[in-house]
Structure 1
């Protein structure tokens, strides 16, 4: 795990821009495609600043969602909806480059459908696990990441790569989420965080090694990178 502590949010964005750029260049050079998983919250704010600065062929990027709320894209809780309205207009990205969930399906079928979509995009069989080039992750005040919450049964999920959750302790309760086997098969996972409100949980997860969901992120063949401002990283 690489722990990068910089002075402020602006420098977090700069470093995140650099790391995304490296991942994108490597993926496009190797396979002519860059597959990236997105989270909501502050990740969007970072990306809106970062992506316009990256020297890359954006047409070769494909966007997936590390988790998504089971709501219509016009709903304020829709992660895809927020990216569609706030990121896409600021770039040359096309909506076809995003792979959203299909909420016209029942929740369980929606999750299974999204897993099929992911497999199809990677062109792999049901026995293989996709290897994302980069997953941009967030961490909640309870130590959750994606829609994997403390003490939830989904932390033990081994067979599903994309799972439904109908009892999220954080509203809205219905969601679909990547599970640990898929997350930990990524080539790179990045947590980018700012502010004193993150400091205590950063310490609990990454220093004290408490048994919390964000602490279970450990790419088996890739790298885990923390990019923090001085306030979020003050206990590292």
Structure 2
């Protein structure tokens, strides 16, 4: 991977977040194109999973499904046999529904043979949302025996234009959840309203968290998250792994309003 430059403006006030960037505890990588970002994400998966014994991965939905299904089948050095994959959040829908995140992975990733259905930890969409959250909690407890708070090897998160991530939305009471590792949500402002989501304690317990954000529609909210100090930070701004790494992968349109230090990469 070629690191083309490290750029920042010396004229802006340095915030704590910018200090984190410069100290290396937070990395922001910017790519000329979505295809280069996708290739870099695949390389991150290879790197983070090498040498692991039972690699535990958490995935989000949306455009991430297409990025992974396009790159992973042709990624050299990728060995997924011992992986276990959970979803960072899921809509309470049948897997045959086009809005089901697991259904999307079935259709676009599993069919390529990169992963098998048995490697996924799934919700039970036949249950009520409260029962589905409790059932998913039990499955994660089995995946992480002896851990009060599961610690994934890698979580890959997306970002909504409103700053939400997983199914954690601005101003929602679930942002303050401290006890549950999985929570039901009945009133999602983004349809469908009923969902199951990992909570912030689990997200922040991960060894590595990667955010993927593309497109001009994310530029304004990324500036708020990565540069602006807010008394009531957006959900994605609350993601700060306690003992892990935080990496943002952005394309140039998404990063266009940032003035903090970023690494400009090209992988082609």
Q: Is TM (by shorter chain) over 0.5? A: yes
* Counterpart secondary structure, 2:165: coil
1:122-180 Cα offsets, whole Å, 9 max, x none, are: 2225xx21110111101111100000000000000000000000000000000000000
- 1:86 maps onto 2:111 in alignment: no
User: Are the aligned partners of 2:72 and 2:114 in contact in 1 as well (CA < 8 Å)?
Assistant: no
Return the offset for 1:50. Answer: 2.8
Of 8-17 and 61-70, deviating more is 8-17
What root-mean-square deviation, in Å, do the aligned CA atoms of Structure 1 and Structure 2 show?
1.2
TM-score scaled by structure 1? Answer: 0.94
Choose which of 257, 260, 265 in structure 2 pairs with 1:235. 257
* Counterpart secondary structure, 1:20: helix
**1:188-199 map, 5 Å:** 188-199=208-219
**1:48-67 map, 5 Å:** 48-52=69-73, 53-67=75-89
TM-score scaled by structure 2? Answer: 0.83
Rounded Cα–Cα distance in structure 2 between residues aligned with 1:54 and 1:159:
40
Moved over 4 A (4+): none
* Counterpart secondary structure, 2:43: helix
* Counterpart secondary structure, 2:58: strand
Determine the structure 1 residue equivalent to 2:237: 215
**1:1-236 map, 5 Å:** 1-25=26-50, 29-30=51-52, 32-52=53-73, 53-125=75-147, 128-210=148-230, 211-236=233-258
Of 114-123 and 53-62, deviating more is 53-62
Structure 1 unaligned spans of 5+: none
Rounded Cα–Cα distance in structure 2 between residues aligned with 1:16 and 1:92:
15
Structure showing greater Rg: 2
- Larger RCO (CA within 8 A; separation ≥ 6): 2
